Amino acid sequence: MSKEIPYKIYLPESELPNQWYNVRADMKNKPAPLLNPATHKPATLEELSQVFCTELAKQELDENDAYIDIPQEIQDFYKMYRPAPLVRAYCLEKALDTPAKIYYKFEGNNTSGSHKLNSAIAQAYYAKKQGLKGVTTETGAGQWGTALSMACSYMHLDCKVYMVKVSYEQKPFRREVMRTYGASVTPSPSDTTEIGRKILKEFPGTNGSLGCAISEAVEVATHTEGYRYVLGSVLNQVLLHQSIIGLETMKACDMYDIKPDVIIGCAGGGSNLGGLISPFMGRKLRGEADYQFIAVEPASCPSLTRGAFAYDFCDTGKVCPLQKMYTLGSGFMPSPNHAGGLRYHGMSSILSQLYHDGLMEARSVEQTSVFDAATKFARVEGILPAPESSHAIRVAIDEALKCKETGEEKTILFGLTGTGYFDMYAYEKFNDGKMSDYIPTDEEIAASLANLPKID
């Protein structure tokens, strides 16, 4: 049985998933619990509920329910930009002259430009349901902030975004998209918070940092009646929401009898990779099928490939719970010259555990080779990819070229998480031949890891 595979597979709306999949339920070795940063004891629902909405805190802790119903309101919102197409990369295959079959799940066909919207709407929904007035968050490049602004606008929730000052000034487009959706965007550090005022006094003229923006957002959320803090990656709840990516993909594959051998995704905090692979990993964990999973990270920020598997802070401000994960240390500073949203020191604890258990591989790739792959892809497949997504493209191309050598007709699937329309400064650098690579030395990483918190 082999149906002709269309260029793009769109599931009918009647086939869209109405439950998320929680891979923790099928994991023999569960991810280690979050720890209270003060007591080093497992964080309780009550503690987590002071920062997150209660329903989201429950999802964060739930390691037993395999399927969670997607509320109807969220399903309705999903229908505005989902299903995301599963695309057969016929033109890329031809350009590479490979016997491999290449597919990608394209999550960029929405105004936020990425998969981030899948979790943003869920988090906004539960906040609204809890009767909150609004949410706070931080954003660096602006992808998560944009998605959250859209979700909050739809749910009639206030949205306060703390945007790293240098991005606020250098990326006015993202900022204006957020403002158009009604969010208030504050350059961080700002004089609206205690921590912001303290930093401004100590370092006048600072460009800001993600760590500082997180601290401001958390301060406002915990000090303002009716507000909570939300986060776009790393967390278990985020991987749960993002499982919609993998569920749609798996259904489309089953429908056309597509059997992926290799599944590839870029990995920063793990939201996209975790979402894409979760249901396939479930089959692997249950012994129903086997797949090769590859996480791709930047050589400049190699948490899986060169980090330690240990408890660490999720934020540089050290106010959030401790999480056991592959980490480069919460003080690790990736080179600022390097583009992309993959510059996070840690990794989702679910993915960290799966990697630790040998169920997933990881590779690191250098930036110039990533943009080289991005440009090749754009020219034949028509979509100008986000730098983050292009990490997955790089390895997908590498794998397809290996097939060309060996003659294997592997089926390669990767996640194309988003578009690069707001990343043209990075493309400009590449087009002008001014982009460079940066790989941290062993000494740098060791120095950063020396500061990991001591947990008994």
Task: Name the minimum Å distance from CB 119 to its own copies.
Answer: 15
**Per DSSP, which regions of 6-133 are E strands?**
8-9, 19-21, 67-69, 86-88, 101-106
Residues of span 83-112 touching its own copies by CB under 8 A: 91, 109-111
Pick the closest to residue 297 from 411, 440, 419, 430 (CA basis): 440
Helix (H, G, I), strand (E, B) or coil at 293: strand
> Measured between alpha carbons, how far is 307 from 300 in angstroms, rounded to an integer?
12
Asked if 18 touches its own copies (CB under 8 A), the answer is no
| DSSP 8-class letter at 232 | S
Asked if 80 touches its own copies (CB under 8 A), the answer is yes
| H or E element, residue 313 | strand 308-313
By beta-carbon proximity to its own copies, the closer residue of 4 and 456 is 4
Site mask for its own copies (CB under 8 A), range 115-154, x = bound: -----------------------------------x--xx
Task: Name the minimum Å distance from CB 46 to its own copies.
Answer: 35
What does the angle CA 216 – CA 217 – CA 219 come to, to the nearest 5 degrees? 65
Helix (H, G, I), strand (E, B) or coil at 108: coil
By beta-carbon proximity to its own copies, the closer residue of 424 and 455 is 424
Q: Are 263 and 414 in contact (CB under 8 A)?
A: yes
Where residue 110 falls (left for φ over 0; alpha for ψ -120 to 50; beta otherwise) is: beta
Q: Which residues pair with 413 in a beta bridge?
A: 103, 263
Site mask for its own copies (CB under 8 A), range 182-221, x = bound: x---------------------------------------
Of the candidate residues 60, 107, 381, 388, the single one contacting its own copies (CB under 8 A): 381
Asked if 50 touches its own copies (CB under 8 A), the answer is no
Which of these ranges, 20-28, 266-274, 420-428, 435-443, lies near its own copies under the rule CB under 8 A? 420-428
Q: At what angle do helices 72-81 and 117-129 cross, to 10 degrees?
A: 150
Asked if 286 touches its own copies (CB under 8 A), the answer is no
Asked if 384 touches its own copies (CB under 8 A), the answer is yes
Q: Are 310 and 327 in contact (CB under 8 A)?
A: yes
Which of these ranges, 224-232, 265-273, 343-351, 377-385, lies near its own copies under the rule CB under 8 A? 377-385
Task: Name the minimum Å distance from CB 9 to its own copies.
Answer: 10
As given in the structure block, the two tokens for residue 17 are 């998933």
Q: Helices marked H in 256-292 — which ranges?
A: 271-285
**Count of residues in contact with its own copies, rule CB under 8 A:** 42
Binding site for its own copies (CB under 8 A): 6-8, 10, 12-13, 77, 79-81, 91, 109-111, 113, 150, 153-154, 172-173, 176-177, 179-182, 375, 378-384, 419, 421-422, 424-425, 427-428, 431
